[in-house]
């Protein structure tokens, strides 16, 4: 586990497992606070993710989702707290934009920064896992949007992370491609079993993918809901609809929204 230095204090830190013992969590946060001047964005977040746990984080724009994700990733030096922020050593990030380097071929993008034996071979294997076998020497601009996100997912998973942080990785994709990417992510998750913290505005996406859904409201976790539905999950399942309605209500969206009810109300995204 790695504690981000210089930002959080842990005056009464609990004992850690012995070096050869498995960690009891992939992420543990206690009283994480983020202020921008007089404005408090995170109001003392407490959260723990166990190894292999898939958690989705919902919330309206400005609720602090991406701020918390940046804190977990160690990208925000302005985070403070009276507790601690411990994160497993092996962390990968995936963003809404694929962030592929345009001057590097796809396999080189996936292998970027890899250490250890055979980075090129590992990159090729990872690309095959996401359905991009034979595209190793393509340039990023030669890939479709969905293919670029597949390459970005390969780059994240080739490092065998213990924690995958995903900030709206499918938000820029069309509906059909997004459905395919949902299936791919869940398949890869079952195969590699990292802990996952997925930030999304899409309620259906959260219920379909995650085993636990949180709602962040004004910098606080307002809902922590287990999703105990068998796979494959279908939106026609009444239990799916009930979870969906509960989360929509927590997000301030009234009424049941289904495919036949008119506009899709499951996406809470607003202009940033």
Backbone Cα Rg of the chain: 19
Where do we find the tokens 């479709």? Answer: 144
Beta bridge partners of residue 164, listed in sequence order = 92, 196
pLDDT tens-digit series, residues 173-196: 888 999 899 999 999 999 999 999
196 sits in which H/E element:
strand 195-199
Q: State phi, psi for 39 to the nearest 5 degrees.
A: -90, 125
Contact 30, 83 (CB under 8 A): yes
Q: What is the pLDDT of residue 2?
A: 54
Distance CA 134, CA 149 (A): 16
Report the candidate in 272, 85, 70, 43 with the shortest Cα–Cα distance to residue 171: 272
Q: How confident is the model at residue 82 (pLDDT cuts 50, 70, 90)?
A: low
Q: How confident is the model at residue 138 (pLDDT cuts 50, 70, 90)?
A: very high
Q: What is the pLDDT of residue 83?
A: 59
Q: What is the pLDDT of residue 79?
A: 80
pLDDT tens-digit series, residues 90-132: 999 988 888 999 999 999 999 998 887 788 999 999 999 999 9
pTM: 0.83
Q: What is the mean pLDDT of residues 158-175?
A: 91
Distance CA 149, CA 267 (A): 20
């Amino acid at each position: 586990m790695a504690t981000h230095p210089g930002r959080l204090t842990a005056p009464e830190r609990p004992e850690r497992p012995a070096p050869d013992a498995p960690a009891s969590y992939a992420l543990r946060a206690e009283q994480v606070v983020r202020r921008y001047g007089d404005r408090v964005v995170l109001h003392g977040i407490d959260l723990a993710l166990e190894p292999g746990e898939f958690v989705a984080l919902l919330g309206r724009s400005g609720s602090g989702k991406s701020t918390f994700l940046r804190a977990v990733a160690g990208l925000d030096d302005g985070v403070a707290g009276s507790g601690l922020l411990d994160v497993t050593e092996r962390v990968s990030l995936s963003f809404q934009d694929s962030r592929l380097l345009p001057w590097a071929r796809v396999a080189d993008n996936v292998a970027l920064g890899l250490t250890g034996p055979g980075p090129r071979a590992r990159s090729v294997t990872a690309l095959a896992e996401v359905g991009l076998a034979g595209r190793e020497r393509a340039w990023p601009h030669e890939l479709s949007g969905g293919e670029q996100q597949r390459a970005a997912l390969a780059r994240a998973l080739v490092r065998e992370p213990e924690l995958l942080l995903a900030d709206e990785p499918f938000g820029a994709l069309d509906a059909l491609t997004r459905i395919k990417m949902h299936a791919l992510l869940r398949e890869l998750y079952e195969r590699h079993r990292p802990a996952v913290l997925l930030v999304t505005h899409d309620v259906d996406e959260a219920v379909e993918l995650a085993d636990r859904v949180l709602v962040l409201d004004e910098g606080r976790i307002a809902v922590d809901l287990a999703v105990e539905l068998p796979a494959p999950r279908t939106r026609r399942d009444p239990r799916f609809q009930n979870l969906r309605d509960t989360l929509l209500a927590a997000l301030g969206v009234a009424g049941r929204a289904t495919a036949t009810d008119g506009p899709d109300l499951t996406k809470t995204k607003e202009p940033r």
